[in-house]
A and B are shown apart, each in its own frame.
Chain A
Amino acid sequence: ETGVTQSPTHLIKTRGQQVTLRCSSQSGHNTVSWYQQALGQGPQFIFQYYREEENGRGNFPPRFSGLQFPNYSSELNVNALELDDSALYLCASSGLDRLNTEAFFGQGTRLTVV
């Protein structure tokens, strides 16, 4: 059973650029959620994907978008990067099953916007 993996681990981008972060979900999981963790804060929910469809979204602007692929891996895209987008981006996978509510997190992608 493979865990949740994210790539890249670190990334530096310039304000105004676009970035794509990737996440491979744990085997057997069909749901991927993305979180933004600013320094010294708790993770904030960005959105969730279930079977390739967006299934819930937090308070983030439309320039944050995502995809989920048939193998349940996922991408997070952020357009027009701002300095405040600098954060650790965490991906979590889980099964959408009320009896299996545990989310497994990847190690995160550290994004720095300069």
Chain B
Amino acid sequence: GDSVTQMEGPVTLSEEAFLTINCTYTATGYPSLFWYVQYPGEGLQLLLKATKADDKGSNKGFEATYRKETTSFHLEKGSVQVSDSAVYFCALRGGGGNKLTFGTGTQLKVEL
């Protein structure tokens, strides 16, 4: 079945540091890939998405590229801010339905 593996946290960075959160997936067919963010006490918000190989999703300075050859969708940001502190979830949606399969989440803490 479908699965998503993402790096474990917590990841602690200083403000303005470069961020990478690794995500790899296993799926049949051609899934769509997503990054969601969850702030404390809240639900999930879609951060970015990519629907086919080599697509780059981007939003609020975050980027991720759909790499079919390495089955990866790593999240990057060039300069993090304290306000980026949250839990980040990588997810995929397999072909034929709207079910999302999530990774276990990576907590990011950004300090001054």
Please measure, in the bound complex, the distance between the C-alpha atom of A59 and the C-alpha atom of B98, giving whole angstroms.
Answer: 16
Main secondary structure of the interface of B (DSSP, over half): strand
> What residues on A are CB-neighbors of B43 within 8 Å?
4, 6, 90, 105-108
Could you say which of A11-19, A37-45, A63-71 contacts chain B?
Answer: A37-45
The smallest C-beta distance from A7 to any residue of chain B, in angstroms, reads 13
Task: Contact check, B97 vs A56: say whether CB atoms are below 8 A apart.
Answer: yes
Chain B 77-112 interface 0/1 with A at a Cβ cutoff of 8 Å (1 = within): 000000000000101010001111111110000000
> Contact between B89 and A102 (Cβ–Cβ < 8 Å)?
no
Is the Cβ of A31 less than 8 Å from the Cβ of B104?
no
Checking B46, B99, B105 against A58 with a beta-carbon cut-off of 8 angstroms, the contacting residue is B99
The verdict on B69 contacting chain A, using a C-beta distance below 8 Å, is no
A47–chain B nearest beta-carbon distance, Å: 9
Contacts of A44 in B (CB 8 A): 102
**Are B98 and A96 in contact, CB atoms less than 8 angstroms apart?**
yes
Residues of A27-69 contacting chain B, CB below 8 A: 31, 33, 35, 40-45, 48, 55-56, 58
**In the complex, what residues of B have CB within 8 A of residue A4's CB?**
43
B32 within 8 A of A: yes
Question: With A48-B98, A90-B44, A107-B42 given, is the CB distance from A101 to B93 under 8 Å?
Answer: yes
Docked complex Cα distance between A4 and B103 (Å): 23
- Verify if B26 is at the interface (C-beta below 8 Å from A): no
Is the C-beta of A24 less than 8 angstroms from some C-beta in chain B? no
Answer whether residue A94 sits at the interface, using C-beta atoms and an 8 A cutoff: yes
**B99 CB contacts on chain A under 8 angstroms:** 33, 45, 48, 56, 58
CB-CB under 8 A from A111, the residues of chain B are none
Closest B-chain residue to A99, C-beta based? B51
